[in-house]
Amino acid sequence: MNDAAEPTDDVLMLAYAAGDVRAFEQLYGRHRGPLYRFLMRQLRNTALADELFQDVWQRVIAARDSWQPDAAFSTWLFRIAHNRLNDHWRAQKHRPAAPEDADARTAQVPDPETPERQLSEFEQRRDLQRALDALPEEQREVLILRLEQELTLEEIGQITGVGRETVKSRLRYAMDKLRAGIGA
């Protein structure tokens, strides 16, 4: 690791807006994994997550000239993803059930651990995913943004368009339901 401080997301986005393609590559490298995981958790469909992932980045590219550092880049990025998901669900009129082979797909993920440990971890992941799936969409979304993306309550509020206290209550209810769902 070099001693020079890494440029912030805001600096990179402004550099990209000025034509620095490498700045975009750095932003993409930093945020592609968290963004893709967020979309997969919401959609549970690889092809659909791939499509929305590409669409979000296309929107980032299209908006580069007008982007202003009014909020953190990650907040802005996840707000785009949030809006894109909302568009998708509105078009679908409902949230489809997880594919019937979701557990089988999860089981196919390679893991160098022992079969016993793998089974135990699989069962824990399955229990967690079932508990997550049982949450109302608003609660699941704030929980994923908080735990997986490590965003602040304020950033989550900016992304979802609700106040900090609403975010807090959604998180509290989600955690209570997760505890009950996993403990059952």
pLDDT in tens, 101-154: 877 776 776 655 556 665 677 787 888 888 888 899 999 999 999 988 889 999
The answer, yes or no, to whether residue 71 has pLDDT greater than 80, is: yes
* Burial group, residue 126, by CB count within 10 angstroms (0-12, 13-18, 19+): middle
pLDDT reported for residue 3:
47
d(CA 127, CA 122) in angstroms, rounded, equals: 8
User: In this structure, is residue 182 part of a structural domain?
Assistant: no
User: In this structure, is residue 64 part of a structural domain?
Assistant: yes
* Burial group, residue 135, by CB count within 10 angstroms (0-12, 13-18, 19+): buried
User: In this structure, is residue 172 part of a structural domain?
Assistant: no
Which domain does 21 fall in, by range?
1-96
Mean pLDDT value across residues 21-30? 94
User: In this structure, is residue 85 part of a structural domain?
Assistant: yes
Provide the mean pLDDT of the chain.
Answer: 86
Which CATH number belongs to the domain containing residue 88 in this structure? 1.10.1740.10
The total of structural domains in the chain comes to 1
User: In this structure, is residue 20 part of a structural domain?
Assistant: yes
Specify the pTM: 0.58
